[in-house]
Amino acid sequence: MEMNKDELISLYRQMLLIRTFEDKSAEMYAKAKIAGFLHLYNGQEAIAVGALSALHSDDELVTHYRDHGYALARGIDSRFVMAELYGRETGTTGGRGGSMHIASVEKHFWGGYAIVGGHLPLAVGLAYANVHHNTGRIVLCVLGDGSTNIGTFHAALNWAQLWHLPVIFLVENNMWAMGTAISIHSSVIEIYKKAAAHEMYAERVDGKDVLAVHDAVCKLAERARSGEGPSLLEAVTYRYRGHSMADSDVQRSKEEINEQKQRDPLTMYLTNVLLKRNLLTDEQESQIHHEVEAEVDEAVAFADASAEPALDTLYDKIYAQPVANMQIDGSLIRPAALYTGNGTHG
């Protein structure tokens, strides 16, 4: 898909927004505004931005827990994402899910999922639903290299291929699964080759090259849309930070990380494409920087100003359809009759 100048600039802006957002999140984590697991996306920005720019805005998106980049690239308001990291009522899931479970079903982002491989069958089912309802929408399912060894990976690929469903499995191969290097965790280093076990079409792309990712996903989306079935795309990349903010990252060498930073997706795109083709001036570039920083500052201010979810909403939405005599007493779901009878309970 040819992109015009504005679209090309927008790719850069989105990547910069993600990087700035992630750096700010790390800062807020250090300040204990954010807790638990926080998996940052620094270094991998070109994949989310390249992939989503190749899809329709109503194509279905399902990702793993490293999901902020996808949320922002899908156009979810950065204030709501930051508020979710804070666990506030204005967050994308009202403080229920946190960092690993950002979602906006309205924008066809069905969420980040935190059980390795657990979301792959869901993506296949979602693809089925779209075929069943003849919507023409396809599904992008994002996972890491470490998620290609678990049973659901193979079960999902087999099923998707067997039923010929419109889903793209996008593997972000950042060479590490938590603290385990790919050579230690996988018998196959070139991950895309695993698709061959299911006779699924697969490709490998430079995950640091946003335009290459964009082109690859365009092609695979076209395949899926025209009824040629599922595919797998391996995007080779690297993450700059530890697995999560809880990771001391002693297992990776400084040399390895520094070497990877020599091929930075943002810098490469800025210098080799935008500046080289005179699509952007230095002034415009610093203007974008200012805007992005202001947006992220605003997101933090918004999260800081937002309230925690109200305690009396604790039991909300456990069931979509509560049954007739289900009532809450603070610790258990009990029949309503309990409260009208003359039991010994207070």
Q: What does residue 62 show for φ and ψ, rounded to 5 degrees?
A: -135, 130
Task: Say whether 260 sits in a helix, a strand or coil.
Answer: helix
Using CB under 8 A, which of the segments 89-97, 178-186, 264-272, 282-290 binds other proteins? 89-97
142 DSSP assignment = E
Looking at the Cβ atoms of 16 and 116, the one nearer to ligand TPP is 116
156 scored as a contact of other proteins (CB under 8 A): yes
Task: Say whether 40 sits in a helix, a strand or coil.
Answer: coil
In sequence order, the 6+-apart residues with CB closer than 8 A to the CB of 164 are: 227, 229, 230
Of residues 33, 101, 204, 263, which one binds other proteins by CB under 8 A?
101
Looking at the Cβ atoms of 8 and 224, the one nearer to other proteins is 224
Question: Residue 66 binds which entry of ligand TPP, other proteins, none, with Cβ cut-offs from 5 to 8 Å by kind?
Answer: ligand TPP
CA distance linking residue 163 with residue 80, whole number of Å: 37
Of residues 37, 118, 179, 275, which one binds other proteins by CB under 8 A?
118
Question: Residue 243 binds which entry of ligand TPP, other proteins, none, with Cβ cut-offs from 5 to 8 Å by kind?
Answer: ligand TPP
61 scored as a contact of other proteins (CB under 8 A): no
Cβ distance 154 to 200 under 8 Å?
no
Question: 147, 170, 167, 146: which is closest to 158 by C-alpha?
Answer: 167
Q: Where are the alpha helices (DSSP H) in 186-320?
A: 210-225, 254-261, 265-269, 282-305
Question: Residue 36 binds which entry of ligand TPP, other proteins, none, with Cβ cut-offs from 5 to 8 Å by kind?
Answer: none
Of residues 36, 75, 136, 343, which one binds other proteins by CB under 8 A?
343
16-52 residues labelled b (16+ CB within 10 A) or e (exposed)? bbbbbbbebbbebbeeebbeeebbbbbbbbbbbbbbb
**To the nearest whole angstrom, how small is the minimum distance from the Cβ of residue 50 to ligand TPP?**
16
Of residues 50, 94, 144, 242, which one binds other proteins by CB under 8 A?
94
Question: Residue 145 binds which entry of other proteins, ligand TPP, none, with Cβ cut-offs from 5 to 8 Å by kind?
Answer: ligand TPP
Using CB under 8 A, which of the segments 102-110, 215-223, 232-240, 252-260 binds other proteins? 102-110
Output the DSSP codes for 98-125: -GGG--BGGGTEEEEE-STTTHHHHHHH
Using CB under 8 A, which of the segments 1-9, 10-18, 151-159, 249-257 binds other proteins? 151-159
Of residues 19, 24, 66, 68, which one binds ligand TPP by CB under 6 A?
66
115 scored as a contact of ligand TPP (CB under 6 A): yes
CA distance linking residue 164 with residue 158, whole number of Å: 10
**To the nearest whole angstrom, how small is the minimum distance from the Cβ of residue 318 to other proteins?**
5
**To the nearest whole angstrom, how small is the minimum distance from the Cβ of residue 237 to ligand TPP?**
9
Type of residue found at 45: E
Looking at the Cβ atoms of 101 and 219, the one nearer to other proteins is 101
303 scored as a contact of other proteins (CB under 8 A): no
Cβ distance 300 to 24 under 8 Å?
yes
CA distance linking residue 102 with residue 86, whole number of Å: 12
**To the nearest whole angstrom, how small is the minimum distance from the Cβ of residue 31 to ligand TPP?**
24
User: Interface with ligand TPP by CB under 6 A: which residues?
Assistant: 66, 114-116, 143-147, 172, 174, 176-178, 243
